[in-house]
Structure 1
């Protein structure tokens, strides 16, 4: 059996692209399958934070991970070395919903103190480049365009705002009748907005002021609210997470409900953190008991539940966009890798 350091070094070079290789000693090009997902084990646990990690994001090349925490810290990790690189603090404004821009040395994040301004931060010198004021209540959605310097924000003030990193002035404003969730599609041509936990509207980014080009009406949620909206990497599926015990998968072209994922704990009814795998095959979800649940996104069938003694509390889960690395976060951060000897 290989030691942990060797497993880290080799597995992090494996992408989710198809391969005929099934050798336990050669993970280059290993394909992400149900059998591989079931072998994920925690390989490294980080204790950089003193409070809950509230958000995480990967750089586009997959080499860097960044987290924000309720302890007002920002921690940067090297995904290839499997190490924490740098810690920055935002004691004055607090930090939440941290997101990489298209440069790996700058991020945007929402604030938890003073006001609800969004901030554009240089990681190089820990200085703010620009402020984006406008929201007057907590920002609950923040996403960068996958193709340019435009980003979306949604707030409990019932608005969605469109921004350009180059200007502090809001480029677009939408007033909604309820809690908004919003995100870009993988090509950055459209964005979806979920409204009052019963309606999804799709907008063309070039003409969003003319209204949605498509509207999907769904049965209104009775026992929970939608808390995030995400597109799969192939653009075919929209995932709606909630503050209850369910996740909805919606056909992005027809608006039809594909699957309802359930069977996980959310005892405090907080917003669930879930994500697609980069190949759109799987959905990973955290739970209040610290477990990680995985489903096949196409069939809706449960694949497995991952457990670690290091996990506790509501867990954020995300998969690296380029490498065979799963990350979960509560008060600690865990790197999960496939244990190929189990195949």
Structure 2
């Protein structure tokens, strides 16, 4: 099934799980799309089987806490995760025997971003200690370290050849992984709303766009080659794209979307709300503090859907499955979505 605006509007909640008692900080699909994992403020790490549609295991990180979590390259049985208690060491964990394989010490403040290379056993981390570090899973020794950079966030590109760093909510710096010590080979200054901070940075799967999420009511798409701002999605002029109404359910969906569009997506409390691309790079999605998911087209900037998952709190984490037509959202509960077959 191809991802289209009508397919996205058809998505409905398939399953909701309440395994957590506190906010989910991060969720991640495995590279093959068959599993998902989440980390939460209640110190739980929950593993989900997507093919069976249910949670299959819960691990506890009570001593260290659990903040950001990522599957390692090509492996659905190993993860790295950062802490929000005790220290700021990154931990490499086996999900088969629940033992730590390795520790990556060095950061002296909370880790703000973790990004795993899509092609090798390498990852990068950013921290409020103003450093970016390059790591190899095979050794605890840091492989590269930057000079201080204010409020950095980072992400690998889909080919694993370069990575982008957001600095001080103003600059994007591009680094060649193999020539990291030479500094960035390109840098862009983005003239955006400085009243909000950048909280996330992601490449599209085609490598042509960079998505920047903020703690305000705006997300932004940047050309990955030129640094030009292509789209800003926020409260703005009314424009929305829909196909002809075919049933009452379609009318209800449109009215819901129109109302939500007039307000934009809600983030009045300055929360860190995750945004993501769909796997085809044609749409962007972000959760809202009112529990809804907002979807825009990256081609024409039109809002194409507003989906209500009945979340009791703000959607702190959102990811589209890399292999299957499903996505997940989380607040303190985890919700998995599927398109409605009846609509097609």
TM-score after normalising by structure 1: 0.90
* Aligned with residue 88 of structure 1, among 59, 78, 85: 59
CA distance in 2, matches of 1:134, 1:85: 33
Shift, 1:310, TM fit: 4.0
Equivalent position of 1:319 in the other structure: 320
Q: Which residue of structure 2 aligns with residue 234 of structure 1?
A: 206
Describe how 1:87-166 pairs up with structure 2 within 5 A: 87-102=58-73, 103-166=75-138
Contact 2:40 2:66 in 1 (8 A): yes
Other-structure match for 1:276: 277
**1:138 offset after TM fit, Å?**
0.4
- 2:40 — aligned with what? 69
| CA distance in structure 2 between the aligned counterparts of 1:307 and 1:112, rounded to whole angstroms | 30
Partner of 1:19: none
1:303 and 2:275 are equivalent in the alignment: no
Distance (Å, rounded) in 2 between the aligned partners of 1:246 and 1:197: 13
Q: d(CA) in 2 for partners of 1:211 and 1:132?
A: 23
Match of 1:259 among 231, 234, 237: 231
Native 8 Å contact 1:52 1:331 kept in 2: yes
C-alpha deviation, 1:213, in angstroms: 1.4
CA contact (8 A) 1:244 1:272 kept: no
Task: Report Cα offsets for 1:269-315 as digits up to 9, x if no partner.
Answer: 02220111111111110111111000112222111100033442233
2:256 maps to what in 1? Answer: none
Residue 21 of structure 1 is matched in structure 2 by none
| CA-CA distance at 1:104 after TM superposition | 1.2
Q: Secondary structure at the match of 2:211?
A: strand
Counterpart contact for 1:248–1:260, Cα < 8 Å = yes
State the distance in 1 between where 2:192 and 2:221 align. Answer: 15
Contact 2:311 2:331 in 1 (8 A): no
Q: What is the aligned counterpart of 2:139 among 167, 170, 176? A: 167
What CA distance in whole angstroms lies between the structure 1 residues aligned with 2:43 and 2:271?
20
| Cα offset, 1:149, TM superposition | 0.6
2:252 equivalent in structure 1: none
Measure how far apart 1:134 and its partner are.
Answer: 0.6
User: Could you report, residue by residue, the CA deviation over 1:146-173 in whole angstroms, capped at 9, with x for unpaired residues?
Assistant: 0001001000111111100111111000
Q: Secondary structure at the match of 1:105?
A: strand
2:15 is the alignment partner of 1:40:
no
Does the aligned pair in 2 maintain the 1:176–1:195 contact within 8 Å?
no
Give the Å deviation of 1:249: 0.3
Which residue of 2 is the match for residue 59 of structure 1? 30
Gaps of at least 5 residues in structure 1 are 1-29
Verify the 8 A CA contact 2:317 2:329 in the aligned structure 1: yes
Kept in 1, the 8 Å contact 2:292–2:311? The answer is no
Q: Alignment RMSD, CA only?
A: 1.1
* Alpha-carbon distance between aligned partners in 1 of 2:311 and 2:83, rounded to the nearest angstrom: 28
Question: Gapped runs of 5+ residues in structure 2?
Answer: 235-263
Aligned length: 314
**How far, CA to CA, are the matches of 1:162 and 1:296 in structure 2?**
34
